[in-house]
Amino acid sequence: MTTSDHLAIKQPRCEAFAWKWMRYSAFLLIPLVWIHAIIQDLITGGHNLSLEYVHMRWAIFGWRVYDIFLLAFAFSHGVNGLRQVLLDYSKSESATKTINWTMFIFWLVFASIGAAALIYGVRIP
């Protein structure tokens, strides 16, 4: 959905908000995701990843705040995007409702798992 005037077609107000959310979060996600990917994938690299590394990284409070932002914006953008794709194939009111609830629960479960790990941190066995 890349046209701006389809908003003129009767849509619930929350859908207009979701539509705008995708675009505003996009501007924020460009620096957030790319800095994250450059540091973790290109500078650190997967071969240097370990429990000890995550422990060290999250000892710095700023990185935890950074990761909270990343989780909040990237995951909601992603799940809402998936929801919008699925809704394109929805042909009934009830299908739309099912998609919306499934996506909300999906978002809630995984966002909570990620947030819990970020808040409580690494448990060194």
Q: What are phi and psi of 94, to 5 degrees?
A: -70, -35
* Residue 4 engages other proteins in binding (rule: CB under 8 A): yes
Taking the least distance from each CB to other proteins, the nearer of 34 and 101 is 34
Q: Which residues contact 26 (CB under 8 A, 6 or more apart)?
A: 77
Residue 92 contacts other proteins per CB under 8 A: no
Rounded distance between C-alpha atoms, residue 28 and residue 31, angstroms: 6
Min dist CB 83 to other proteins, Å, is 10
HSE of 27, CA atoms in CB hemisphere, 13 A: 4
Radius of gyration (Cα) for the chain, nearest Å?
Answer: 18
Pick from 12, 61, 94, 125: which binds other proteins (CB under 8 A)? 125
Nearest to 78 by CA among 31, 33, 12, 34: 33
Minimum distance, C-beta of residue 51 to other proteins, in the bound complex (Å) = 5
Task: Give me the 13-52 binding string for other proteins, x by CB under 8 A, dash otherwise.
Answer: ---------xxx-xx-xx--xx--x---xx--xxx-xxx-
Lookup result for tokens 């970020």: 118
Contact residues for other proteins, defined by CB under 8 A: 1-6, 9, 22-24, 26-27, 29-30, 33-34, 37, 41-42, 45-47, 49-51, 54-55, 71, 74-75, 78-79, 81-82, 85, 87-89, 91, 110-111, 113-114, 116-117, 120-125
